[in-house]
Structure formats: C-alpha cells, structure tokens
C-alpha cells in the first residue's frame, strides 16, 4: 500500500517531494473493478507533491500494463495506460462549494495519511476507454451475434436506415402509383 505522511510533506524543508515507484495493486482491486480489468501486470508511478496553502498538491504520472476485456466479445486485450492526474490534500474541513468549484479534486486526509494507493487504482479504472477491441475485431470488423440477433456497425445501421422506406410513405407511394396508372390508362383509352 502506498501511503504518505501529510505533515511530513507540508513541513518539509524541500520545496518538492518527488516519488517514483513500482506499485502492486491491492488484493481486492480486480474484484472492485467489476470486470473492467482482468489483470494488472505492472504499474509505475512518478510524481511530485508540494505544499501550497492550504493544500498539499500532488501531480502524478501513471503507466500501467493491463489485461482488459474487449468491449465487444469480452476476450482479453493487452492495454497500456499512460495518464496524468492531480489531487489536493488537506487536513482541514473544506466547504462543499469550494470542493465543487475546484478544478483539482480535494481529498480530506485522515490521521495525517495520504492514501495514494486507492487514488491510483481509481484513476486506472477511470482511464480505461469505453471501446477496446482485439486486433482481430479491429481488422475484420467482427461483431457479436446469436440466435435471431446480431450487432451491426453504426455505418451499416445508418445505411440500412437510409434504405428503409417509412411505412406511412410507402402507402402514399402505392396510392400515387394507382393514380398514375389510372391517369396513364385513361390517356391510352382516348
């Protein structure tokens, strides 16, 4: 577990506290991810923390190698994350309005402990894209299907939609067709 002491950073003689470490996710992380992650192979954290009254501010870079499910087939896909996140930590109560208006999340520390472990794990989950495909799914445009159903691409859906005639207009088309035939036949009779 990666935990830092809030007061130690706040009162440090150094202007910046730098951290760089390999991180193991917590035992319950995969369970807590609810199927968003199958496995975490490695996590590298680099970051700087500094005191900027009334906060200790942390700026972090995370690189992680994950095994995640394909959003189409749930087949495993290797995925590399590389993202940045920032958080402000405080040991005093902050008004809800200030928390809501802040661009950087504000976290109230308890017992002088900054729990980076949970923040990193949460951000790993937040940075997984909604669409991840296997190489085969990307190259061949493979979509799932079953008995009596199949998933189609948005392009195919729109094409099918454009080709489809509105039933209300189809009746009018037949009406005009009959009228045209009567007019045409009427002209031939003369």
10-residue mean pLDDT series, the chain (190 residues) = 90 93 91 92 96 93 96 93 96 86 90 93 95 88 80 80 70 64 62
pLDDT of residue 172: 66
Query: Exposed, middle or buried: residue 142 (CB in 10 Å: 0-12, 13-18, 19+)?
Result: middle
Q: Report which of 69, 67, 54 is spatially closest to residue 25, judged by C-alpha positions.
A: 67
pLDDT of residue 83: 97
pLDDT of residue 64: 97
pLDDT of residue 175: 65
pLDDT of residue 97: 87
Separation of alpha carbons 160 and 114, rounded Å: 54
Half-sphere exposure of 147 (CA within 13 A, CB side): 0
Residue with tokens 């923040």: 119
pLDDT of residue 50: 95
Find residue 135's DSSP bridge partners.
Answer: none
pLDDT of residue 180: 64
The single-letter DSSP state of residue 10 is: H
Q: Which residues contact 70 (CB under 8 A, 6 or more apart)?
A: 76, 77, 132, 133, 134, 137
Strands 76-90 and 106-108: parallel
Q: Where are the domains of the chain?
A: 3-140, 152-189
């Amino acid at each position: 577990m990666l935990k830092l002491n809030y007061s130690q950073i706040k009162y440090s003689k150094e202007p910046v506290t730098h951290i760089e470490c390999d991180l193991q996710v917590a035992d319950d992380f995969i369970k807590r991810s609810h199927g968003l992650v199958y496995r975490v192979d490695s996590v590298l954290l680099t970051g700087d923390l500094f005191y900027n009254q009334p906060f200790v501010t942390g700026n972090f870079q995370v690189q992680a190698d994950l095994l995640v499910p394909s959003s189409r087939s749930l087949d495993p896909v290797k995925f590399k994350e590389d993202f940045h996140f920032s958080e402000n930590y405080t040991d005093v109560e902050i008004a809800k309005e200030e928390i809501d208006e802040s661009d950087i999340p504000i976290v109230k520390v308890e017992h002088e402990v900054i729990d980076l472990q949970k923040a990193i794990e949460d951000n790993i989950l937040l940075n997984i894209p909604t669409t991840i495909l296997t190489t085969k799914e990307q190259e061949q445009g493979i979509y799932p299907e079953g008995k009596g159903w199949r998933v189609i691409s948005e392009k195919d859906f729109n094409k099918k939609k454009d080709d489809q005639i509105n039933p209300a207009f189809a009746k009018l088309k037949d009406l005009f067709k009959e009228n045209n035939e009567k007019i045409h036949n009427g002209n031939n009779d003369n």
